[in-house]
Structure 1
Amino acid sequence: MKSSKSINSELLPQKLESYLLLSDAVIITDHNHFILDVNKQYEVTTGYNRKTILGLKAGFLKSQLTPKTTHQQLKESLLNQQPWSGVLVNRKKTGELWHSSITITPLEIEGKYYYVGVFRELEQLPQGIYLSEDRKLETQRELLKVLAISCEIRDPEIEQHLVRVQQYTQYLIDEYYNEHVSELCETYLHNIIHCSILHDIGKAGIPEGILYKPGALTFYERQIIEMHPLLGADILNKMSTNINNELITSLEVAENIILYHHEKWDGTGYPKGLKGEEIPFEARVIAIVDVFDALTSRRAYKDSWPLEQAITYIAEQKGIHFDPVLTDTFVKLIRKEQSRPKPEIIH
């Protein structure tokens, strides 16, 4: 490590001094990333006195909590003398963690490169709370999973079913997106994947004696079963008043999945008897994957179907139960996976 006495602000090119006047925290280093100077806001944010850190490596604040991929991208950009922007998790002098949005810009002056880093402490933004997009998506996925499983806790096998339905949904959505890339935005498709796990939360309101009855249901028992989409929508609406919409985006997608995943393309489904494209796209997706997993899974009250029989059934229901385009896409996907079996898909 270089001595702080060997590096001070006198070595800072005059052209860089104006950056220290910015209202955000600023750090300036040489080409080896040793600190040449910082501004007052940097001292305020980190708690470190300027004189004590001159000459230290800029990474002395690292907390080991920033993803390794982030540091790798940063290094690669700077090695190629390219600017880099991202989020770092560092530690203040007090030991407190702080999340900073930082832009580091390489500047060449008289044949030498210098790096100017401009920080903004995310905890101090007006919103009060910051989540990266990746973390927000992961939080959303896990929260929805907890909600779904908690609503169906009576069935010890339900978690595997819900996870498989979500996996099938992702595979089908990915395949559909590849084929129809310009039709639907990625955010909407992500919402379908995340919300698919909620499709059967209404079954929490169905008596166990009916829900898990072996054999045929009576007319009245069938009517009770067919109430679960309405019960699920009611559960979702009650939960939504206490849910942060920033974490669960588009409750409309979740509601459509819950309400309409038992509708049929020919209009003979329930609870509304919707037909064709009257059925929301997200519900048409879940209709296929939910039935396929139900057919190919063994439950206490039924045996599983052979895979080929289940695929044949799905194909035969094209234009009857299922959206024709989605049916073709799903059958093609499953047949492709047959030749490249994956345990989490084919069981």
Structure 2
Amino acid sequence: MNQQLNLFLQLADAVIITDAKHTILRVNGAYENITGYQQEEIIGKRAGILRTPYTSQSVYDGMKRAIQAGRPWSGVFTNRKRDKELWHSSITITPFEIEGELYFVGVFRELEKLKQGLYLDEDRASRMQGSLLKVLAISCEIRDPGTEAHLSRVQNLTELLVDRHNERMELALPKAELARIANASILHDIGKSGIPEGILYKPGSLADYERTIIEMHPIIGIDIVDKIFAELDDELFEKELQTAKNIILYHHERWDGTGYPHGLKGEAIPLEARIVSVVDVFDALSTKRSYKEKWSLDSTLHYLRDQRGRQFDPSVVDSFLSLVEDELLVPHLAAQ
């Protein structure tokens, strides 16, 4: 190994040096202390010896693209020490070409240990949040065996629509926010768990007082999630909770201001609620319910077009219709 690279081994942070094929050439004392691997037993092995499935594939893909292009790369890894204990580090990998030979120098800085003892990358945290919200939603709607399928369809279709709307309208919403909207959409009708079954599943039209009770479900839903998340008191779910509350409370508001419970109008209605509103109505109309027959796809789409600018945000309807034009709803319709 070129002697110029030995200077990096004097750093206080953990340092690993590999050749162009990512074979380990040298590590420093800090690396030995953190990982438990001594230099003599790790030299000659591949740099991926510490790799675990807890670092998302997207991180590795980003690293690979950068180093193949000859650029430095920084990111966060969850690796495993020699004794199998997990460790979490911020790493910078820098390529060096010296006398025609390519080397990579990785400098690790161990992250402070979290109370939970585990670092969660963005993708893994999103999966955990989504799973918890799904269990919560289904457990609160267990009275109706068809509800789970409806909730899953709404969540899947919301994911499609929010991605399409973000792209089509050039909103530049970050990936994490798109995931939050899709995850939280499954809670949209959680307040219906507090509505008497005789009203909720009544065939035919509702009396005025029954309609008033039904329209209380957004308020009931907010009360339910506030009580549940008060017990969690975990910042991991803070943004997820706010998104869920916006969807629960406002997905029955109408673009023209005639919705409930607050009569919000236009863009005063949070975007996530406007998106779920279109998805929820589409699924409700295009499936059979205890109080109605299934509408045809043409009839359902005609309703969405007719309510564009009245019940629904026109731009969200247009984004939804673009999914139809691209035939991306075929799996969704097959699942009904």
Q: Normalising by the residue count of structure 1, what TM-score does the alignment of the two structures yield?
A: 0.84
- Name the aligned partner's letter for residue 274 of structure 1: L
Residues 164 and 345, structure 1, Cα contact 8 Å, conserved in 2: no
The range that moved more, 244-253 or 16-25, is 244-253
Q: 1:125 to 1:39 in 2, by over 3 A?
A: farther
Map of 1:137-152 to 2, 5 A cutoff? 137-152=126-141
Q: 1:326: Cα distance to partner?
A: 2.3
The range that moved more, 76-85 or 88-97, is 76-85
- Residue by residue over 1:61-120, the C-alpha shift from the partner in whole angstroms, topping out at 9 and shown as x without a partner, is 345665666556655654554434444444322122334433222212223222211123
The range that moved more, 95-104 or 142-151, is 95-104
- Structure 1 position 343 matched with structure 2 position 331: yes
CA distance in 2, matches of 1:174, 1:327: 14
- Name the aligned partner's letter for residue 210 of structure 2: E
- Name the aligned partner's letter for residue 172 of structure 1: L
User: How many pairs align?
Assistant: 334
Aligned to 2:4: 15
Aligned to 1:197: 186
Aligned to 1:110: 99
Map of 1:94-173 to 2, 5 A cutoff? 94-122=83-111, 124=113, 129-173=118-162
Residues 136 and 247, structure 1, Cα contact 8 Å, conserved in 2: no
Residues 226 and 270, structure 1, Cα contact 8 Å, conserved in 2: yes
Q: Normalising by the residue count of structure 2, what TM-score does the alignment of the two structures yield?
A: 0.87
What SS does the aligned partner of 2:95 have? strand
Aligned to 1:267: 257
Q: 1:296: Cα distance to partner?
A: 0.5
Structure 1 spans left out of the alignment, 5+ residues? 1-11
What SS does the aligned partner of 2:332 have? coil
- Name the aligned partner's letter for residue 48 of structure 2: G
Residues 233 and 255, structure 1, Cα contact 8 Å, conserved in 2: yes
- Residue by residue over 1:218-248, the C-alpha shift from the partner in whole angstroms, topping out at 9 and shown as x without a partner, is 2222221111011001112212223323235
CA distance in 2, matches of 1:68, 1:324: 37
Q: 1:89 to 1:129 in 2, by over 3 A?
A: closer
Residues 126 and 180, structure 2, Cα contact 8 Å, conserved in 1: no
- Residue by residue over 1:256-277, the C-alpha shift from the partner in whole angstroms, topping out at 9 and shown as x without a partner, is 2111111222333221222333
CA distance in 1, matches of 2:11, 2:22: 20
CA distance in 2, matches of 1:183, 1:126: 33
Structure 2 spans left out of the alignment, 5+ residues? none
Q: 1:55 to 1:264 in 2, by over 3 A?
A: closer
Match of 2:311 among 308, 317, 321: 321
- Aligned CA-pair RMSD: 2.8
Q: 1:23 to 1:251 in 2, by over 3 A?
A: same
Structure 1 segments of 4+ aligned residues over 6 angstroms from their partners? none
Aligned to 2:267: 277
CA distance in 1, matches of 2:298, 2:244: 31
The range that moved more, 70-79 or 165-174, is 70-79
- Name the aligned partner's letter for residue 344 of structure 1: H
Q: 1:302 to 1:187 in 2, by over 3 A?
A: same
Q: 1:156: Cα distance to partner?
A: 1.3
CA distance in 2, matches of 1:224, 1:48: 65
Match of 2:324 among 326, 334, 345: 334
Q: 1:336 to 1:107 in 2, by over 3 A?
A: closer
CA distance in 1, matches of 2:128, 2:251: 25
Q: 1:311 to 1:57 in 2, by over 3 A?
A: closer
